[in-house]
């Protein structure tokens, strides 16, 4: 059992371990932290002491016969220490360039073991290989690792800089409720039973959407909050059941006002947190342009490799796969690889299976020999004029490789869009040091659900249609475009928003288009329809996935790496063993029974 000595109870920590530098040479310091490593070189003991700012080397010299060295033999990894000592410069041949503190060491005079540690279930080195389940079970230990601590600190900085920017722009931070009404028009809600109102349920919010619109009705014309949201959906690497949004709403604005505000905020965050200057304005693509050029609405624009439409050229070709697709209203598109030698015949066979997984019937290819000549199994079906026209459209040069898919337009875009990303990763075409932002606008307002047998809101049912498309709501809902916009970063959607409906009659028409009866709309959204009658200003907003932004900024592989206590892919917490069963008495209080 160890007791605090007078020097610890009377003297406070003077520096973080990772902040000691050469300019501190000769200073007396008090440091506190965890033992990262201990090395005993024949009585001369070295301790790497670690805290959230980094590691510094502590020297315990037996010749000094100090109180600190007397305790040296008791010290083990992850013990918590306090030390008092003097900063010395290391000899030139002992400098460690890999550490920010590598020019110095601390000669310890006094040392206190503040707490011992059991042997950790894994080594706390960044490069040690440990199963993710074990890391999540002992997350408090995993969080001691430098990479994760850097991610969490970056997250804190981004949140702080977001608040600073928005506050300076006149935004008001308002907290909205976590216990609210279930309005299932998207992902499944997490439901919370009410004890005082048996048989009724709250829902945890998937978004503060309705409350922030009500705040616009209330006259808070610039609102924001950094808020937890909840969705009961299947997990992926970039999804969690609870996640954090940077949520914003503004009144008396247009799309361009929101985009300008967001670009300023994002530029401020990246400069303040990563010292990166972003070029604004960010590029903008309509939804249809993104789909046609990149095959998806969240394009990764760090590399080119765009889809080219060849349907008009091959519509009458002798190659029936292409001509039949064109005649049936489908499409024929291609990707160009400038270096045709990058893929072998075996690689191409594998890629045929890859596009098949995305709905395509196959992948055709040719190698370009000259301006009007190809080699490959389908080359014989094309005359010199067709080859020349395709090469010109594709900007193909001798040595290039062309990859074709012919099918319905949706299948072609989906398959080649996926192939584009696959090839970029396989052939290392992506500059991972680049941050490529793109706005996507003019999304379809609705998509038809075959299972529901009705139209569903592509964004949410409170998004305003484009003014010129309003007459199409009754006759051709699939043609209606929304005043919606997403911000995409490196192929991931990091934020999305829209101009909202601010008139009650238009909102009622949208609910009707979505197949909601007047009674059902009143039951679910009556409070909103009522509020829209009382002088609601034109307004719009956007929400950003904070977890996903931090993941990309940190270069992490999963959002679990930037959340302090994340859930697994099965939405469970291995640390606390949640979710878990509750007692019969608790269920009885809620008028519930376990199945």
Q: What is the pLDDT of residues 324-355, one digit of tens each?
A: 999 999 999 999 999 999 999 999 999 999 99
The fourth-level CATH superfamily of domain 6-115 is Nucleic acid-binding proteins (2.40.50.140)
Residue 427 is predicted with a pLDDT of 96
Window from 129-138, 191-200, 231-240, 372-381 with minimum mean pLDDT: 231-240
pLDDT of 67 higher than 90 = no
Please say if the pLDDT value at position 110 is more than 50.
yes
Q: Which CATH architecture has domain 303-430?
A: 2-Layer Sandwich (3.30)
* Mean pLDDT, range 161-168, rounded to an integer: 98
Rounded Cα–Cα distance for residues 278 and 360 (Å): 38
Token duo for residue 105: 């060491």
Give start and end residues of each alpha helix (H) in 245-338: 255-274, 287-294, 311-314, 320-327
Is the Cβ–Cβ distance between 47 and 106 less than 8 Å? Answer: no
In DSSP terms, 457 is beta-bridged to 446
pLDDT in tens, 462-506: 999 999 999 999 899 999 999 999 999 999 999 999 999 999 999
Q: Is the pLDDT of residue 1 over 50?
A: no
- Average pLDDT over every residue of 271-276: 98
Residue pair 540/250 in contact by the 8 Å Cβ criterion? yes
In order, the DSSP letters of 363-374 are: -EEEEEEETTEE
| pTM of structure | 0.92
pLDDT mean across residues, the chain: 93
Q: Say what the pLDDT of residue 593 is.
A: 87
Residue 511: its pLDDT value, please?
92
Residue-range domain boundaries for the chain: 6-115, 149-285+438-562, 303-430
Q: Give percent above pLDDT 90 in the chain.
A: 85
| Residue 3 clears pLDDT 90, i.e. is over it | no
- What pLDDT sits at residue 190? 94
- Please check the confidence at residue 459 and state whether its pLDDT lies above 90: no
CATH node for 149-285+438-562: 3.30.930.10
Query: Between these two residues, 595 and 376, which has the higher pLDDT value?
Result: 376
User: How far apart are the C-alpha atoms of 479 and 446, rounded to whole Å?
Assistant: 8
418-435 burial, b at 16+ Cβ within 10 Å, e below that, comes to: bbbbebbeeeebbeeeeb
Share of residues in the chain with pLDDT > 70 (%): 97
């Amino acid at each position: 059992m160890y007791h605090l000595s007078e020097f610890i109870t009377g003297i406070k920590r003077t520096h973080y371990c990772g902040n000691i530098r050469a300019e501190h040479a000769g200073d007396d310091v008090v440091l506190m932290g965890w033992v990262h490593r201990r090395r005993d070189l024949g009585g001369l003991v070295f301790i790497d002491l670690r805290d959230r700012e980094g590691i510094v080397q502590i020297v315990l010299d037996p010749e000094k016969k100090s109180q600190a060295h007397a305790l040296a033999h008791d010290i083990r990894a992850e013990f918590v220490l306090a030390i008092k000592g003097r900063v010395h410069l290391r000899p030139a041949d002992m400098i460690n360039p890999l550490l920010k503190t590598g020019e110095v060491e601390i000669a310890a005079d006094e040392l206190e073991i503040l707490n011992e540690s059991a042997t950790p279930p894994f080594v706390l080195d960044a490069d040690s290989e440990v199963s993710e389940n074990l890391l999540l079970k002992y997350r408090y230990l995993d969080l001691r690792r430098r990479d994760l601590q850097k991610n969490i600190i970056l997250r804190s900085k981004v949140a702080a800089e977001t608040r600073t920017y928005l506050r300076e722009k006149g935004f008001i931070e308002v907290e909205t409720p976590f216990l609210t009404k279930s309005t299932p028009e998207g992902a499944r809600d997490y439901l919370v039973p009410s004890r005082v109102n048996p048989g009724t349920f709250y829902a945890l919010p998937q978004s503060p959407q309705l409350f922030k619109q009500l705040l616009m009705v209330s006259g808070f014309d610039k609102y924001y909050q950094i808020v937890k949201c909840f969705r009961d959906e299947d997990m992926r690497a970039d999804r969690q059941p609870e996640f954090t949004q940077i949520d914003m709403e503004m009144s008396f604005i247009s799309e361009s006002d929101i985009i300008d505000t967001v670009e300023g905020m994002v530029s401020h965050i990246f400069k303040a947190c990563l010292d990166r200057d972003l070029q604004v304005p960010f590029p903008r693509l309509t939804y249809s342009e993104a789909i046609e050029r990149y095959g998806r609405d969240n394009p990764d624009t760090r590399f080119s490799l765009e889809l080219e439409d060849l349907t008009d050229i091959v519509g009458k070709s002798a190659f029936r796969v292409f001509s039949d697709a064109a005649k049936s209203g489908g499409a024929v598109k291609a990707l160009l690889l400038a270096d045709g030698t990058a893929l072998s015949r075996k690689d191409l066979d594998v890629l045929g299976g890859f596009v098949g997984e995305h709905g395509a019937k196959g992948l055709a290819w040719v190698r370009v020999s000259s301006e009007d000549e190809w080699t490959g199994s389908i080359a014989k079906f094309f005359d010199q004029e067709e080859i020349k026209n395709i090469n010109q459209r594709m900007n193909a040069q001798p040595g290039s490789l062309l990859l074709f898919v012919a099918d319905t337009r949706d299948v072609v875009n989906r398959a080649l869009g996926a192939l584009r990303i696959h090839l970029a990763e396989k052939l290392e075409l992506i500059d991972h040091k680049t941050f490529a932002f793109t706005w996507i606008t003019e999304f379809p307002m609705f998509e038809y659900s075959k299972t529901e047998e009705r139209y569903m809101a592509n964004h949410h049912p409170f998004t305003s249609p484009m003014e010129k498309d309003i007459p199409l709501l009754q006759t051709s809902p699939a043609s209606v475009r929304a005043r919606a916009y997403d911000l995409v970063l490196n192929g991931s959607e990091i934020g999305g928003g829209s101009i909202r409906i601010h008139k009650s009659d238009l909102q009622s028409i949208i609910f009707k288009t979505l197949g909601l009866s007047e009674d059902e709309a009143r039951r679910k959204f009556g409070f909103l329809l009522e509020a829209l009658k009382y002088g609601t200003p034109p307004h719009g907003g956007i929400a950003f996935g904070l977890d996903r932004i931090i993941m990309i900024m940190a270069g992490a592989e999963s959002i679990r790496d930037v959340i302090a206590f994340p859930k697994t892919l099965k939405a469970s917490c291995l640390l606390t063993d949640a979710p878990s069963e509750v007692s019969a008495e608790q269920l009885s209080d809620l008028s519930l029974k376990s199945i």
